[in-house]
Amino acid sequence: MTAKEPLDLLVIGSGPGGYRAAVLAALRGLKVAIVERDQWGGCCLNRGCVPKKAWHHSARILSNQARYAERGIEGTLRGDLDQAWRHQKRIVHRVRDNYVDYLQRLGVDALQGKARFLAPDRVAIAQADSTDTLTARNVIIATGSRPNPHPLIPTVPGRILNSDMLFDHGPPAGKRVALIGSGVVATEFAFILSALGKTVSWVSRSPMLRRAHFSAHAMSALEQALRKQNIVLRSDAFPLRVDAQREPLEIHLADEEIFEVDWICLATGRTPNSDGLGLDAAGVECDPQGFVLRNQHLQTQQSNIFAIGDCASVEMTANHALADATVAVENIVNGAHLRRAPERVPLVVYSALEIARIGLDDDSAEDQGHEPAVGFASFETNPCALGQDDAQGFVRLLADMDSGALLGAEVVGDGAGELIHLLSLAPDRESALRWLAEGVYNHPTRAEEMLNATETLAARWGLLEQVFGTGVSDATAPPRPVQSS
């Protein structure tokens, strides 16, 4: 393919955002090519969401086995991280094969090589033994991110690994692991590594999930679930130095404590992949942190160049990348009219307890001038949850007290990552609670607590008319209570 054969769309990067953008554009009739410099599927498929989800499922099976005897299931299970690593590799290869096959069946040109802009509409693709130049009416930058280096602790293959290295090369020998970090990846790995047979020492400079904006209720539930697995984050004694020459490794903490481990896993955040793309030649700019600058329609300084996912999104989740892809392709096909809506994108943490949230939290709702009303339903009495011996958690809805608009929500407990999607499917937040109230639910399911939380919120806060669409007389309407936390 040469510059004389212009594309409708060139996608740079094949992670979840880039892949979805290429597929969606092809389904809508565009002539599309996608270029990948490394492994097809990007971080999410090869070193993130997909393999981690496989590990989390195994970890949940192992952590729940104390209750199996009551169900008539006998025997003892033991975690094996090495075998779990081999298992996830098989899953990744299978998904990747399906992924590439689908692109081919859609007629998307899948190019292996490194992309570099020559102009806003021209991109050079450097391959092993040649360089091709493509002309494209539109370009989507979806180059993802890479692990942040620790400022004091460099990686050492086989001894000090970041999360990418762990998925690429497998776990080193030894049972004692130091996990450094406090974000989503660290919170998930603390549970997964522990359940799969490792003795985990978890340390960080910051409290757990400090930037994730979960409520105190959700954080308390997660901390309790982690403590039941003997997992506690030490955020008051962060590492200053590692003696990597010793066997075993010595970690020196800020409080002068020294402890030994067999290997270290660094989970200290990620940085955008925006370097080496020739963005200057395209007239595209980045902020000081390296995120590609874009407007609410996901356009960069060049209206035909869009940026999606981790390379442009401070949220840095596959969910945001996928949502961005939908917006970008719609704006390419029908003109720049659709705006990104991060408040409609769920955040899910898969740890000792699944926790998920969407929209505003209590503080941000108040900062925007809302008076929040809360609807709450616990899984403690849910027949489905009780039948599964896993009744931890709840549904917590946040609505505007005057309009009844859904502002945000949390789901805590098994299946939270699936249930949270219900709250992104309503046409708009103004009608979301009525949409939930009018739904017909399978019984028994955890999803029924969405309905219970909605009905409780409507009754407690005097929002019956907004939620159910029926008038309520002053005599029969419940009094509006003073809000409590």
Please state the rounded mean pLDDT for residues 448-475: 86
Classify residue 292 by burial, with Cβ atoms within 10 Å: 0-12, 13-18, 19+: buried
Phi-psi sector, 369: left (phi>0), alpha (psi -120 to 50), beta? left
What contacts 173, CB < 8 A, 6 or more positions away?
262, 263
Nearest to 138 by CA among 298, 266, 259: 298
Q: pLDDT band at residue 342, thresholds of 50, 70 and 90? A: very high
Using DSSP bridges, classify how beta strands 263-266 and 145-147 pair: parallel, antiparallel or unpaired: unpaired
What are the tens digits of pLDDT across the range 225-252?
999 999 999 988 888 899 888 889 999 9
DSSP secondary-structure letter at 75?
S
Inter-residue contact 45 to 144 (CB < 8 Å): no
Q: Decide if pLDDT at 153 tops 60.
A: yes
Q: pLDDT at position 476, please?
A: 47
Q: pLDDT at position 484, please?
A: 41
Q: Decide if pLDDT at 8 tops 60.
A: yes
Domain with CATH 3.50.50.60 in the chain: 7-147+271-342, 160-268
Inter-residue contact 357 to 363 (CB < 8 Å): no
Mean pLDDT of the chain: 94
Q: Which of 26-35, 156-165, 230-239, 353-362 has the lowest mean pLDDT?
A: 230-239
Q: pLDDT at position 4, please?
A: 57
Using DSSP bridges, classify how beta strands 270-272 and 145-147 pair: parallel, antiparallel or unpaired: antiparallel
What are the tens digits of pLDDT across the range 21-49?
999 999 999 999 999 999 999 999 999 99
What contacts 401, CB < 8 A, 6 or more positions away?
370, 371, 372, 373, 461, 463, 480, 483
What are the tens digits of pLDDT across the range 102-119?
999 999 999 999 999 999
Q: Decide if pLDDT at 3 tops 50.
A: no
Classify domain 7-147+271-342 by CATH number: 3.50.50.60
Residue 222 has phi, psi (to 5 degrees) of -65, -45
Q: Decide if pLDDT at 209 tops 80.
A: yes
Classify domain 160-268 by CATH number: 3.50.50.60
Q: Report the b/e string of 174-200 with b at 16+ CB within 10 A.
A: eebbbbbbbbbbbbbbbbbbbbbbbeb
CA 44 – CA 142 distance, rounded (Å): 12
What are the tens digits of pLDDT across the range 125-142?
998 889 999 999 999 999
What are the tens digits of pLDDT across the range 376-395?
999 999 999 999 999 999 99
Range 353-468 has CATH code 3.30.390.30: yes
Inter-residue contact 358 to 341 (CB < 8 Å): no
Please say whether the dihedral angle defined by the alpha carbons of residues 100, 103, 107 and 108, taken in this order, is positive or negative. negative
Please state the rounded mean pLDDT for residues 438-443: 96
CA 167 – CA 192 distance, rounded (Å): 13
Please state the rounded mean pLDDT for residues 420-433: 92
Q: pLDDT band at residue 255, thresholds of 50, 70 and 90? A: confident
Inter-residue contact 79 to 195 (CB < 8 Å): yes
Q: Decide if pLDDT at 2 tops 90.
A: no
Domain with CATH 3.30.390.30 in the chain: 353-468
Q: pLDDT at position 473, please?
A: 47
CA 365 – CA 40 distance, rounded (Å): 39
> Bridge partners of 264?
160, 178
Q: pLDDT at position 160, please?
A: 97
Q: pLDDT at position 236, please?
A: 82
Q: pLDDT at position 219, please?
A: 98
Q: pLDDT at position 393, please?
A: 98
Nearest to 192 by CA among 44, 87, 266, 81: 81
Q: Decide if pLDDT at 281 tops 80.
A: yes
Q: pLDDT at position 471, please?
A: 53
